[in-house]
Structure 1
Amino acid sequence: MKAVSEVEVAYQVLRSRGYAMYFRDLIGSVLTQTGQRASSQAHAMAEVHTQINMDSRFIHMGKGMWGLAEWTPQQMNARMAEDGEWGGSGTSTPRREKLFEEIQQEYVAAAAETGEQE
């Protein structure tokens, strides 16, 4: 019987956790569960990272965070905010707030233009 691959272990780790993990923590957990020896750990980390990157079940969320493609963004953000990931107070940042404000202004301007043309 063939042993479970590292990428399968990574999938199970994320699935059981329920939200994204920093890639080093995820890969470290995989290597611990698969019993990788310390002498080959750097090579094993690179290999697991490559496998995760090539597997369509995983999605890179930015800033070194990996999640599962089957999760919706709303589910991931809510779970991560609950557990203190990504700053602990949700995902709002000054940059996001500024972008949101610009989008709102563009929307209002576009609505005003549409209203003037009618």
Structure 2
Amino acid sequence: MTLISKYSKEEIEEMSMIEVAFLILTENKEAISFDDLVTKIADAKGMSEQEIENRISQFYTDLNIEGRYMNIGDNMWGLKEWYPVDQQQDEELTLSVENTPRKRRKKKKKKVEDLLLGDDDEDLDEDDDDLLLDDEDLDDEDDDDFDDDDDLDTDDADLDDDFTDEIDEIADDDDLDEDEEEDL
């Protein structure tokens, strides 16, 4: 007695193509080409060629998305449960995630969560002390920069005074020249 024969014709027609595919693969206990799988599903459900054409792309998408199925190559499909984990394509994804370097932000996020949750008992790490010292050093450097700016402002004021004095002298010289011309 086959799995499909357990169901009435009406029950099979009401099942989705993906559910019928599971019954067929479970019954065959081996991988089947996509075309053969579609043909067996169409026969079991009594689908016309037009129905198959209309629904084949959605079925292929569902087959890829559904976690129970696995493409083992050459458009052959089987159930993931038949294959050991090291043969499954999901292993590549797992390995790439494991090899991805972790970012330091997670530690900061945890500290923020601890602060929000009221976990005040946690002491600062030595690394955090170093970071605090570095920040303080940077603050001192920033202060020095502002002090330099103040010195520049003072220098600018002195220069402005010098230019004003020179302009006044030139103006006085011009006045003298005009007075001399009037005398002539």
Q: Do both proteins adopt the same fold according to a TM-score greater than 0.5, normalized to the shorter chain?
A: yes
Residue type at the aligned position of 1:21? I
Tell me by how many angstroms 1:31 deviates. Answer: 1.6
1:38 and 2:72 correspond: no
Q: Per-residue CA shift, 1:59-99, capped at 9, x if unaligned?
A: 010110000000025xxxxxxxxxxxxxxxxxxxxxxxxxx
Match of 2:73 among 62, 65, 68: 62
Matched residue, 2:147? none
Percent of residue pairs identical: 29
| Inter-partner Cα distance in structure 2 for 1:52 and 1:35 | 20
What does residue range 1-118 of structure 1 map to in structure 2 within 5 Å? 3-72=14-83
> Does structure 2 conserve the Cα–Cα contact (< 8 Å) formed by 1:36 and 1:44?
no
> Does structure 2 conserve the Cα–Cα contact (< 8 Å) formed by 1:27 and 1:49?
no
Residue type at the aligned position of 1:64? N
TM-score, scaled relative to structure 2: 0.37
TM-score, scaled relative to structure 1: 0.56
Structure (1 or 2) with the greater helix fraction = 2
Residue type at the aligned position of 1:29? K
| Inter-partner Cα distance in structure 2 for 1:11 and 1:35 | 17
| Inter-partner Cα distance in structure 1 for 2:28 and 2:64 | 19
Structure exhibiting the larger radius of gyration computed from Cα positions: 2
Aligned length: 73
2:81 aligned counterpart, secondary structure:
coil
Residues 37 and 18 (structure 1), Cα distance of their counterparts in 2 relative to 1, 3 Å cut: same
Q: Per-residue CA shift, 1:4-46, capped at 9, x if unaligned?
A: 1110100010000001000010111112211212223212222
| Inter-partner Cα distance in structure 2 for 1:62 and 1:36 | 27
